[in-house]
């Protein structure tokens, strides 16, 4: 089950790429309500506006955004590796993410990245169906933490 689960993680993340791409490519984060003067002076796609909306600091977004953008690119190549190599690759990625998490200063940033790390760790021992739900939620949370 462990061997199958590590490959399931990669497969789930590859499929989750559509979720991330969908979240990243949305061009509008505006609502139908009129914009206030403050909101009108700060574009909705600016890092400051995103940070204000989610509680993640701008500095943390500089760390989280590249992680979010690179999740699929980092893990998809592991699909072609042996189970042992894929598992080692996922564990190395978790170690890198943990080091990045230690650099974060905002509670919201730590929560978003921490949730993703926990989901990756948990998915290594879960069934594919359980890992799918866990990872989909975590990837969505990570991709919206600093949505631009």
Q: Is the distance from CB of 5 to CB of 131 less than 8 angstroms?
A: yes
pLDDT digits (tens, 9 = 90+) for 7-62: 555 555 544 443 444 434 333 333 333 333 333 333 444 444 445 566 899 999 99
Q: Which of 134, 24, 120, 115 is nearest to 68 (CA)?
A: 24
pTM here is 0.67
Q: Where are the domains of the chain?
A: 2-23+44-145
* Cα separation, 47 vs 123, whole angstroms: 31
């Amino acid at each position: 089950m462990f061997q199958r689960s590590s490959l399931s993680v990669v497969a789930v993340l590859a499929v989750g790429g559509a979720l991330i791409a969908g979240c990243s490519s949305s061009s509008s984060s505006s609502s139908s309500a009129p914009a206030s003067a403050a909101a009108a002076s700060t574009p909705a796609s600016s890092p400051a506006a995103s940070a204000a909306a989610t509680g993640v600091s701008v500095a943390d977004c500089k760390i989280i955004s590249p992680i979010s953008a690179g999740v699929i690119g980092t893990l998809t190549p592991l699909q072609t590796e042996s189970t042992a190599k894929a598992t080692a690759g996922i564990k190395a990625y978790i170690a890198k993410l943990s080091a990045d998490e230690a650099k974060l200063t905002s509670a919201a940033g730590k929560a978003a990245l921490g949730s993703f790390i926990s989901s990756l760790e948990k998915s290594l021992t879960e069934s594919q169906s359980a890992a799918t739900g866990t990872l989909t939620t975590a990837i969505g949370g990570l991709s919206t933490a600093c949505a631009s």
